[in-house]
Amino acid sequence: MKRKALTLITLLLTPYIQSNIDITTLSDWDINDFDEETLLVAKSSDTSTAWKSILAFSVSRPNCVSTQPIIMVRSKSSTNYSNGDIVLAEMKVDKNKPALLKLEQEFGFEDDGEYVHWFKLLKFPSFESSNRVEIKFKSQTPLKSFAVNTTGIRKASYVAEQVCNSPVTIQQTVSRLEKI
């Protein structure tokens, strides 16, 4: 009974509970809360600092499976692509031959004088067990090619799926006083 009373007092005296997920794996994959039901697993490019690009995928409830790969890539201008535009590129996984990469721009935004494009991967070769992924754009596009060291992607996927399947709230900021 004493333990229940202590728990109740702690809940009443804690005005806010904030649950944010921010994990960095030993292979430098970032696992972060994206919204209330989704984790975003991402890794930055290792080929360019001026044009920092990201390869990522999501893990969402209720299924908690790694899906929906995306890339974020910068350009000097937003006028080149609109939401829904399709862009073709090549994706090379490890030492395999380059394969077709079909992208769709979902949205974009300005950041430090550059435009960041968020592309959903529509057609792509498997990279779930890869060690390196290279994305190559045609020279006439304003998008810069990049590469990502994907070592540890399977472990990062597994960790994100385990967090997703756990009872932990992915993203929440709730006032405990409002609930009482």
pLDDT, tens only, 153-168: 999 999 999 999 998 8
* Alpha-carbon gap, residue 15 to 85, rounded angstroms: 46
| Residue (of 81, 88, 124) closest to 105 by Cα position | 81
Write down the pLDDT at residue 146: 93
Number of domains in the chain: 1
Place 179 in a pLDDT band, splitting at 50, 70 and 90. very low
80/135: higher pLDDT: 135
Going from the C-alpha of 147 to that of each of 9, 35, 51, 82, the distances in angstroms are 52, 27, 11, 24
Query: Strand 38-44 and strand 172-175: pairing?
Result: unpaired
Write down the pLDDT at residue 124: 98
Number of other residues whose CB lies within 10 A of the CB of residue 73: 27
Q: What is the pTM of this model?
A: 0.81
HSE, side-chain direction, 13 A CA sphere, residue 66: 21
Q: Tell me the residue range of the domain where 15 lies.
A: 2-179
Place 78 in a pLDDT band, splitting at 50, 70 and 90. low
* Structural Rg of the chain based on CA atoms: 20
Query: Which of 8-12, 52-56, 163-167 is least confident?
Result: 8-12
